[in-house]
Structure formats: C-alpha cells, structure tokens
Structure 1
Amino acid sequence: MNLRSSWVVETGQTREDTRLTQVGATTPVNPVQVRSGILPGSYDGRFRLSGFWMTGASAMAATVSEGRAVIQGDISQGVYPVALPASETVTFEPGNAQYNRIDLVVLKIYDKLYDGPDRNEAVVEVIQGKADPTPQAPAAPPRSLPLYEVTVPAGVSAGNGGINWNIALKDLRTPVVSVGGILPVEGPVLPGAYPGQFQDSGGALQRWDGGAWVPYPSALGGIIPSSAGTLTASYTGQYRDTAGGQLQRWNGSAWRPAYPGPYFNDSLDAGYTVSTTYVNTLVERTTNPLVVTFVAPESRQAILTFGSRMELSLVSGTTGIASSAYMCVRVTQGATVHREVEDELAAIASKSADPTDAFSASSTQRLHTLTPGATYTVTAYYRTSNANVRAWFDNTFIQVTPQY
C-alpha cells in the first residue's frame, strides 16, 4: 500500500513517512478539531485541486492519483496527516444482477486504539454500497475522507465492458489550507470557523462574518472590482467598478452610476421663431422641444450650460431693422418652476440693421437650492426682439453637470 501516514503504526514509521506527511494544513472547525480535506494545488498551477484525482484505469478498476490530506478523528483522537506519493489502483466488484449500486472511495485510517487489535495503517479503500432500485451511497466510516462516489450499473463486469467512467464518478473531494490561509472552495460550501476567515468561491473572495460568507468588498466597505461584477450587492451604498470604468452605487434595488452626469442633449437641426415672447418650439425643426432631465445631487448644486448658433434674417419686405435673438431655459421639478426664463439669464446674439452673419452664443450658470434626489427638467426657449426678424437657432445644446 502506497498511502503513508504519521503516528499510526506502533513501530516502523520512517523519517521519510514523517517528512511526506507533515502537511501543515489544518482548517479549523472548532477550537480542537479541523476539517478533513486535501491540500490544493496542481503540477502546472492550472487547477485548484488535483490531489487524489480519480480516473478509470480498466473495466472495473480506477487510478487514484497522488496527493496529501488530513483526516480528523473524533474530538479526542486528533488529526491524521496522510500522503500518497504515487498513484494507487482500486478495484470494484461486479454489478448486482438486478439493481445499480453506489460505491464510496475513501481515504481510511485504521487505528487499533479505536478499531480493534492488530491494524494500524492508512489505506485507499472502496466501501461497497447496497444494490437497490434507488441506490444510495454508503455512509463514510469513522476516520475517513470521502473522495468519490462511483455508480456501478446492474450486471456490469470486466467481461461486458465494465463501468462507464465518463458518467460513473461523482467528485466529493474538498480542500483544506493552514490556519489563516485562503481556502479555495471545491465541493460543498461549509461554515467558517471564526470571523475574519477567508475563502475563494471561484469568482470572488469572501469573508466569514460570524454567521455567513460575505463578499470581501462588502466586509471592508471597499469597491467590488469589475472582474466580480456579477456579485449581488450586500447593502445599500455599496460600490462597484464596471468593465467600462464607471463607478456604480447600489441604491437598494439596482446599480446606478455613483456620480451621474453630465447630462446632455443637443439638436443639429435648424429652426426659427418670429415670436417676441419665449417659445419652446421652432419652425422647421423636426424635434421640439429640446429637453434635458437630471437628478439633483446631495450638494444641491449643478452647473448649467446652454447655447446655440444664432442668425437673424428679415421677414420678406422689411429692411433696416436692428434685432436680437434670445435663447434661455426653464427649469422645473414636476409642476413647480424652479427657474423661469428671462432675458437677464439668456444667451443673446444682436445685430444692427439688415443682418446677414451668424453668431455662436452660450451661457454658463449655477443652479442651486435643488432638492437632493429630485428629478428636474431643463427646457430650451427662444424668442426674437422683433416680429419682422426671424431668429434662427442651430447646433443648440443643453448640458447639466451635477456638483458633488
């Protein structure tokens, strides 16, 4: 038998046995006992758990590969380190004539202090299950570590093709690491032993908080990295990075941009008005009105910028008229007007008699006394100073940048 162990045999333990089995891996489950399991790792670093991997070797035999593990006995028995430095072959009995069965492959410690006289050894063993219409795997014996369940079909034997190893195996292996190490999760997710213990769930680092495994960023109040962007948020106010580089905040029901804005809308479609009072609809523009909505930040302030390329043209049959084009915005919150349009706040282009040129004009202003979290609407308005002069507006835009 290739499986080596420490402190089981009364005589004959070699220095080589001791060196091979000093695994230094104990993941506690309570102040006295540790979790039974296999040390993680693989030859090329590609896999989390390669120790004691099992594959079919022949019709009714399988190969268990090398590895190291610890097996916890009862609370007063201590933990047994074991090592398999070379692969081991295990053989399965032929199938029952009528029903399937499920066998269990285990690492088993025989200690004569607890198992009876004259047997002190560690073995890789097949525990044969009971053939049944609905077969169940047998219970693992004391001082053993389950490796695999193997379904043995009814009537199967070496003479008729044997076990189909592609579908027969159920992997039960679980890893262990030394105290303070980060445990790679394979198989069932078991409770932690102490607050502050860490495990790698395969897609995210988790921390045991005393009652549950909590995503690591949640436990520390940090930012969930984009590589773990599928994690469910743990609390309102948690932040995450996204693949596009945008920081998001969990609002209790959805991820939203942590710092929304700037909010922007524009129109490259020209239109005009001959109204001397402010209107939000331009003739010959296909889309009216030009609107931006934004959510007010906690600072209650935002920077508002708006502007347009403006041109003044005389209505047919008129000459010699000086005039101005005005663009302004109305800011509303629901049905309430937060800021009304007025000339003092407008972007203006003025011309002397018989204008022919175009001008670009814009204005930047501060919005304040906003209600945090409320949605506001900014709507563009336009007018001309003279009904005989068309005020044209093109390349019109509105931008709102919240201040945080």
Structure 2
Amino acid sequence: MTVRAAWLLPTTQTREDTRLAPLGALAPEGELVSRDGVLAGGNPLIATGAGPMQVQLGVGRAAVQGTLAQGAYPVAVTSPETLTIADGHAQFDRIDSIVLRVYDQLYDTSEQTRVAAEVIQGTPAPAPNPPTMPPAALRLWDVTVPAGTSAGVGGLDWTRVLADRRRYTTAHGGIIPRGWGLSFDGSYDGQYRDNSTTGLERWNAAARAWLPYPYDSGWQPLALAPGYGNPGHGTVASWRRLGSMVMLRGRIGPTKSGATIVNGATILTLPASIRPAGGREFAWAAPRDVSSKGAAITRAELSGAGALRIYEMFDPPMWIGLDSVTYCTD
C-alpha cells in the first residue's frame, strides 16, 4: 500500500505505518476535534498531469478529521498515486476534487476499512461548484473539467485546470502555515498562523479576529480637547501601537488664531489601550510665537489615565510636535 493510515486497521498496522504517519499533527479546532490538513515540508501532495485525463498525486502526509466520535486519522502517501478524471459532460463544465478519504466501517456504511486517494466527481452545471465533501475526506485539489473533454480530443490542459486547495495543519501550539483560504477562525486565544503576506497573525478570541503579531494598529487619529487642532501645517496628531510600543506624531496647537497652549490644560486623552502604566514625562523646544523665532522649553506630562498636559517653563508655546514621542505601555 502507498496510502497508509495509522490507527485505522484493527490488527495490521505496522511499525513502519506508525513511523510514517504524522502522529504529532493535532492542532485543535474544538474540545475533541483536530484541524485536518497537509503537513508542510517540501511540496507535499502536489498534483501534476500524468496523461490526457490522468493526474498524479505526489507523496506527503496529512491529518484527516472524521466525525466527532471518529477523531483524526494520520495519513501518509509514500509513493505517487495516479488518478483518472472522467470525461467531461456533453454540455456543461464540472469541478471534481482530488481528496484523501478514510473509510471506516465502524463509523460509516461503506463496509470497508481503508484509506485512499481518489477523485470525487462534481455536478455539471452552467456555473459549477466543487462537490461537497463526505465525512473523513480532505480536499487537496480541484480540477475543472470543461464540457466535451476527453482523451480523444486532447484531454485536460493541466496548466490551467488545477486549483490548489491544500490547507495546512501543525502540531498543537505550532504556527499554521499559509495554505488555501484564510477564512477560518482560530480555536483558542493566542493561536498563531502565517498569512504569508505581512507575517504572523494571532487569534484574539474576544474580538473573534486574527490580528497582526506583533500587534500593529496602524496610524490612528488622536481625539483632541476642544479648542485644539492641527495648526497651520504638518502631520495630523495620531498614534500607532506596535506590540507594547506606542508612537505619537503630528502637531497640536490652539485653533484660535494667536492663542498659545494653556499651562496645565489637558489637550488630549489617550485611548485606554495605549495609556502608559505609571505615566510618562517629555520635554520639547516649541515655538514661542507665530513667526517661530526662538523656542520655549516645555514639559509634557502623560498621566497613567492618558491625559496629556503641557507645563511651560518660560513662554507659552504656540504649538507642540509629537514626532519624537515613543513609549511602552508596560
């Protein structure tokens, strides 16, 4: 046998079966359910054309989840498998799926106990959909079969008809590699996955969302106190959080012409998620007047409650710049 499963056959599992099957791949999706999928490493279970209507499935390993009672089956394909695609429908296109499928007569009506690589045929239609997966089957590839296709008329163009549907799995606590589709929820708070574009993402159970890791909020506008805004020119006052580090940028000043910042007045209050534990203090050289000639040394206090207040040491400043302000929340 070249398609093998561990813990499927009642008496004939070999030591080699156990060594080859991926016993450690148990990323949870529920209390008793594991995430099925392919184990990354090389190009596992790759599909390539092997003839006009034949496709070859390469070697690789996977976990195939059955029903809740069945659990997950570790599966290994140890030698390439050649599968035949049925001729196309006379009128409509069809989408077939190449799968790994477990038959277990203790849980299904197949009266078989085996594992196989096989083709599940879709339904021909003007706009066809892939076939619905039966229990204990893992979709690997979709094959679009145009109407009228057969070996006699040249067969399938394998460079165009194959669609990769391999999704990946990993051991508990591991980072799930990027595969087909990112529209799945995490199963526990703090689970990680690789989205292969911007990097790692971490599942936030409270938000029910995958968030960038380290967390990156992107630049967000600061809500200023009444009477303050972005004077003249310069970057609008905003904040950004990367992990526990917070960066501020932009310019803040009175909206009334000729006014200066009032000593001790709160000019903004930070959102709770970016407030520094215990507060922080900063010092700036800010312009004294509208001509920006000369500078006033100012001290800023950022309280643990998120209030930003300016304490001027000489003359009241016309505006302050936040571009040098960086701190950690912890």
Q: Which residue of 2 aligns with 1:155?
A: 148
Q: Secondary structure at the match of 2:169?
A: coil
Q: Whole-Å Cα distance in 1 between the matches of residues 76 and 91 of structure 2?
A: 38
Pairing partner for 1:233 from 218, 238, 260: 218
Q: 1:216 aligns with which of 201, 213, 218?
A: 213
Q: Gaps spanning 5+ residues in structure 1: where?
A: 43-49, 219-223, 225-231, 238-247, 262-297, 304-329, 341-364, 377-400
User: The residue matched to 1:332 in structure 2 has which SS?
Assistant: coil
Partner Cα distance (2:47, 2:324) in 1: 60
CA contact (8 A) 1:249 1:257 kept: no
SS in structure 1 opposite 2:33?
Answer: coil
**Which position in structure 1 is the counterpart of 2:169?**
176
Letter in structure 2 aligned against 1:62: V
Count how many residue pairs are aligned between Structure 1 and Structure 2. 262
**2:106 alignment partner, SS class:** helix
Could you say which residue in structure 2 is the equivalent of 1:251? Answer: 238
Contact preservation (8 Å) 2:99, 2:117: yes
Whichever residue aligns with residue 23 of structure 2, its letter is V
| Structure 2 partner of 1:326 | none
Question: 1:199 corresponds to which residue?
Answer: 193
For residue 297 of structure 2, what is the aligned residue in structure 1? 367
| Alpha-carbon distance in structure 1 between the residues aligned to 2:176 and 2:193 | 4
Number of the residue aligned with 1:302: 285
Distance (Å, rounded) in 2 between the aligned partners of 1:150 and 1:135:
11
Match of 2:92 in 1: 99
CA distance in 2, matches of 1:98, 1:15: 50
Given that 2:36 and 2:65 are in contact with CA atoms closer than 8 Å, whether structure 1 keeps it comes out as: yes
1:32 corresponds to: 32
Structure 1: distance between partners of 2:219 and 2:84: 48
Q: Is the 8 Å Cα contact of residues 64 and 87 (structure 1) preserved in structure 2?
A: yes
Contact 1:260 1:402 (8 Å CA) reproduced: no
Give 1:374's aligned amino acid. W
- Distance in structure 1 (CA, Å) of the matches to 2:63 and 2:17: 14
Indicate conservation of the 8 Å contact 2:219/2:238, yes or no: no
Pair member with larger Rg: 1
Q: Secondary structure at the match of 1:195?
A: coil
- What is the one-letter code of the residue matched to 2:238? N
Bigger drift between 98-107 and 248-257 goes to 248-257
Distance 1:73 1:373 in 2: 69
Q: What is residue 7 of structure 1 aligned with on the other side?
A: 7
- What TM-score do the two structures reach when normalised by structure 2? 0.70
Question: What is the SS of the residue equivalent to 2:282?
Answer: coil
Go from structure 1 to structure 2 and tell me whether the alpha carbon gap of 1:196 and 1:61 turns closer, same or farther (over 3 Å shift).
same
Range with greater deviation from structure 2 (16-25 or 138-147): 16-25
- The correspondence of residues 1-400 of structure 1 with structure 2, limited to 5 A, is 1-42=1-42, 50-116=43-109, 118-189=111-182, 190-202=184-196, 203-210=198-205, 211-218=208-215, 233=218, 251=238, 299=282, 301-302=284-285, 331-333=288-290, 367-368=297-298, 369=312, 374=319
Would the alpha carbon gap of residues 97 and 19 (structure 1) be closer, same or farther in structure 2, given more than 3 Å must change? same
Question: How big is each residue's C-alpha offset from its partner over 1:252-286, in whole Å with a ceiling of 9 and x where there is no partner?
Answer: 5999985789xxxxxxxxxxxxxxxxxxxxxxxxx
Cα offset, 1:115, TM superposition: 2.3
Identity of aligned residues (%): 37
Contact between 1:23 and 1:69, CA under 8 Å: does it hold in 2?
A: no
Superposed displacement of residue 40, structure 1: 0.8
Partners in 1 of 2:57 and 2:318 — Cα distance?
62
Amino acid corresponding to residue 97 of structure 2 in structure 1: L
TM-score between both structures, scaled by the size of structure 1: 0.58
Conservation of the 8 A alpha-carbon contact between 1:299 and 1:372:
no
In 2, the alpha carbon distance for the partners of 1:15 and 1:86 equals 18
Structure 1 residues 111, 254: closer, same or farther in 2, change over 3 A?
Answer: closer
Given that 2:99 and 2:119 are in contact with CA atoms closer than 8 Å, whether structure 1 keeps it comes out as yes
Gaps of 5+ in 2: 223-234, 252-280, 299-311
Cα shift at 1:20: 1.1
- How far, CA to CA, are the matches of 1:214 and 1:403 in structure 2? 25
Give the distance between the partners of 1:174 and 1:102, measured in 2 at CA.
18
CA distance in 2, matches of 1:37, 1:22: 11
What secondary structure sits across from 2:18 in the alignment? helix
Structure 2 counterpart of 1:268:
none
Change (3 A) 1:402 1:250: closer
After superposition, the CA RMSD in angstroms is: 3.5
**Matching residue's letter, 2:188:** Y
Q: Tell me if structure 2 keeps the 8 A contact 1:52–1:65.
A: yes
How far apart are the structure 2 equivalents of 1:192 and 1:372?
50
Q: Deviations over 1:18-40 (max 9, x none)?
A: 21114301111111101110111
- Where 1:179 maps in the other structure, the secondary structure is coil
CA distance in 2, matches of 1:374, 1:254: 24
After TM superposition, give the deviation of residue 170 of structure 1 in Å. Answer: 1.2
For residues 214 and 403 of structure 1, do their structure 2 counterparts lie closer, same or farther at Cα, with a shift above 3 Å needed? closer
Assess, with a 3 A threshold, how the Cα gap between structure 1 residues 372 and 402 changes in structure 2: closer, same or farther: farther
Contact 1:39-1:51 at 8 Å conserved across structures:
yes
